[in-house]
Amino acid sequence: MAAEGKIADIEYVLFDMDGLMIDSEKMYTIVTNKILGRYGKEMTWDIKAGCMGKPELEASRHLLSFFPDIPLAIEDYIKERNELQDKMWPTVPLLPGVEKLVKHLKKHNIPMAIATGSRREKYLLKTGHLQHVFGLFEGKAICGDDKQYNMQGKPAPDIFLVAAREMLGRNVGEPLSHPNAEQKTERLKGLVLEDGMPGMQAGKRAGMNVLWVPDPNLRAIDDVSSVSETADQVLNSLEDFAPEQWGLPPYETDP
């Protein structure tokens, strides 16, 4: 359930994509377990939690580190996984509450951008059939393989700071530099929407507000007490999002 009262005054919003906007995490699980199943193995949620939000190679290394006894090279795993997933991406659905929120922010001219660990090629595959929502971002998206920004992956704060600076023109400073007072204030005007633990940590390390919408399975196994960062709000679904709690225009009520 949403918390009561105003939490912060937000001027811009940054969206994660996988598992937050689109139901891609389910497809990751189906494909990964199809491959591992040949060896009598399975990716459980405690393993999956460590993969979420990470760049492809890093996530794959994490996954296969749990199965050192199977004769599967990381390059072969990534190749097969990508081939299977690429056939599924044009059918991946939006998650509940996403379309309503994005259209609402767009209607009220709230600056917004996407910050995803997905490679740009995959981002385009996943969103091409969902342009009624993703088209509203007008190309404002930072992807994990945008090498020109020299970003570290989540839980490092880089991708959110780069998205705010490069896509929205916010004076938030550089990931590796200590922000001055003005930059700290600018960071606090941002709201990060995330579903993964590394992404939640990245948003807080960026000095921004974070709304965490974890999968129930993730909440069941993630030891939140093991990390120093704490989300500003935790919801079960973006359907529960209340814009006015963040100083944003409220949803219009139906007559």
Residues 242, 234: Cα–Cα separation, whole Å: 12
Report the distance separating Cα 151 and Cα 198, nearest Å. 15
Confidence of residue 226 (pLDDT cuts 50, 70, 90): confident
**Does residue 87 register a pLDDT over 90?**
yes
Q: Distance between CA atoms of 29 and 219, rounded to whole angstroms?
A: 17
Q: Could you tell me which of 26, 196, 240 has the C-alpha nearest to residue 126?
A: 26
pLDDT at site 215: 85
Instruction: Give 221's pLDDT tier (boundaries 50, 70, 90).
Output: low
Q: Tell me how far apart the terminal alpha carbons of the chain are, to the nearest angstrom.
A: 24
Region 85-94 average pLDDT: 95
Q: Are strands 12-15 and 112-116 parallel, antiparallel or unpaired?
A: parallel
What residues are annotated to the active site?
A: 16, 18
Nearest 10 degrees: Cα torsion 10, 11, 16, 19: 50
Band of pLDDT at residue 105, cut at 50, 70 and 90: very high
Q: What is the pLDDT averaged over residues 212-227?
A: 75
pLDDT of 53 above 60: yes
Confidence (pTM): 0.89
Higher-pLDDT residue of 166 and 45 is 166
Query: Strands 190-194 and 141-143, how do they pair?
Result: unpaired
The residue that leads in pLDDT, 183 or 49, is 183
pLDDT in tens, 18-52: 999 999 988 999 999 999 999 999 999 889 888 87
Q: What is the pLDDT of residue 225?
A: 62
Rounded mean pLDDT of 215-229? 73
Let me know: does 161 contact 173? Beta carbons within 8 Å. Answer: yes
Secondary structure (DSSP) of 120-182: HHHHHHHHGGGHHHHGGGTT-EEETT-GGG-PPPTTSSHHHHHIIIIIH------TTS---HH
What pLDDT sits at residue 2?
42
Indicate whether 3 pLDDT > 50.
no
Q: What is the largest CA-CA distance in the chain?
A: 61
For 127-162, the pLDDT digits (tens) are: 999 999 999 999 999 999 999 999 999 999 999 999
- Residue 66 pLDDT exceeds 80: yes
**Of residues 220 and 156, more confidently modeled:** 156
